Amino acid sequence: MTAKVYDAIIVGAGSVGLPTAFYLAQAGLKPLVIDQFASPGQGSNKAAIGGIRATHSAPSKIRLCLTSIEIFSTWEQAHGDNLEWHQGGYSFVAYREQEERILKELLKVQQAYGLNIHWLGREELLEVVPDLNREGLLGGTYSPGDGSASPLLTAHAFYKRAREQGAQFRFRERVTGIIRRRGRVVGVRTDKGGYATEVVINAAGPWARSVAQLGGLDVPVVPDSHEAGITEPVARFVEPMLVDIRPAEGSKNYYFYQHGTGAIVFCITPDPPIAGTDRRETSVFLPMIARRIVDLMPKLANIKVRRTWRGLYPMSPDGFPIVGRARELEGMISAVGMCGQGYMLGPGVGVLLSRLVTGTLTPEDKEVLEELSPYREFGGEEKLK
């Protein structure tokens, strides 16, 4: 029996794989998406808290996320799907001179790439977020164009629209081999069959390294665990996502925002990192982040937490995504190492990959790919992970 032939096979139906399938199909190609889970967005995507910002420290991520914000903000108008997009902005707060200096230095890069972000002094910031702890507050950055949306609704929307454009999906199926011939991809083998293609896109998130190894390659992606939680709903009183980059025992930073339902959604960056694929929530997370959040915004002291959960961040050595073609195996493309920002990067990366596969890259695309190359030296570090 002859294997079915596809223009591209995407491994992973998550934050990156779903938009990529949509934009490839929209470009007239016939992609197949293969995922080990039962339905779209059931890996790391459903653990995301939904923040979407272009306020990064790297030009490549700024450009990709500006594209993503344009897509999120116009999706309902263009396609009719409500993604719960809310343009509440982001604010990085500063209570110490160290953070003020870091944030002001980053402003130069961010503004140079056209971001609408500014430093607000203490009183100006309190006008935007009146309930911040005033003691010691120096100010912070504010980017009103950033926002949030629902990862689950977004996954379903991209899945539905990709199928309408002709993309095909196979769930509960594991890729077991990348079929190669004379240094080229010719197909994919799974636990349920085989499929012919000349292009394989690795969008497997925390499982990206094992997928790369099936093709005789390697990508330096290691998953680590991050916990998040959500409270009961209350009347809206805060607009932007608030980020506090002060380190403390057990955590590098933390962030939270008020969802459209009124619930507060929160997350922490553990320090040291918790490497591995364990997604069981812990007893130390909630006491740790509760102290920090209530210190920043005392008004939250009596709000009740509904639940917590844990997801996986596919980390690269320098905190930047790894996107591009493999030199050793023609037809193999990496879209991995999103470092917990796959949801906000995904639509922009999907657009980029569709142009990479169809050979329609712009000069700006080439600059982004050079910065995110799998063959770069992993010596730097993303300053706003």
| Model confidence pLDDT, tens digit, residues 86-122 | 999 999 999 999 999 999 999 999 999 889 999 999 9
Regarding whether 230 and 130 lie in a shared domain, the answer is yes
Please give the share of the chain, as a percent, with pLDDT higher than 70: 97
Strands 118-121 and 175-181: what pairing? unpaired
Q: How far is CA 12 from CA 48, 145, 174, 342, 349, in A?
A: 16, 29, 10, 12, 14
Regarding whether 127 and 57 lie in a shared domain, the answer is no
**pLDDT the model gives residue 211:** 97
Residue 359 CB partners (closer than 8 Å, separation 6+): none
Please classify residue 377 by burial: count the beta carbons closer than 10 Å to its beta carbon, then call 0-12 exposed, 13-18 middle and 19+ buried.
Answer: exposed
Mean pLDDT of the chain: 95
Residue 280 CB partners (closer than 8 Å, separation 6+): 310
What number is the average pLDDT over the span 198-216?
97
Regarding whether 251 and 213 lie in a shared domain, the answer is no
**Residue at a domain's end among 265, 282, 313:** 313
CATH number at residue 358: 3.50.50.60
What number is the average pLDDT over the span 39-46?
93
**pLDDT the model gives residue 378:** 86
CATH number at residue 93: 3.30.9.10
Please classify residue 181 by burial: count the beta carbons closer than 10 Å to its beta carbon, then call 0-12 exposed, 13-18 middle and 19+ buried.
Answer: exposed
Is residue 78 domain-resident? no
**pLDDT the model gives residue 88:** 96
Give 22's pLDDT tier (boundaries 50, 70, 90). very high
**For residue 106, what are the domain limits?**
87-146+222-313
**pLDDT the model gives residue 383:** 56
Regarding whether 296 and 243 lie in a shared domain, the answer is yes
Regarding whether 157 and 49 lie in a shared domain, the answer is yes
Compute CA 30 distance to the chain's CA centroid, rounded to the nearest angstrom.
25
Regarding whether 277 and 255 lie in a shared domain, the answer is yes
Is residue 19 domain-resident? yes
Regarding whether 211 and 158 lie in a shared domain, the answer is yes
**Domain count along the chain:** 2
Pick the closest to residue 266 from 237, 289, 232 (CA basis): 289
Residue 1 has pLDDT above 50, yes or no: no
| Model confidence pLDDT, tens digit, residues 269-310 | 999 999 999 999 899 999 999 999 999 999 999 999 999 999
Is residue 233 domain-resident? yes
| Model confidence pLDDT, tens digit, residues 339-357 | 999 999 999 999 999 999 9
Is residue 74 domain-resident? no
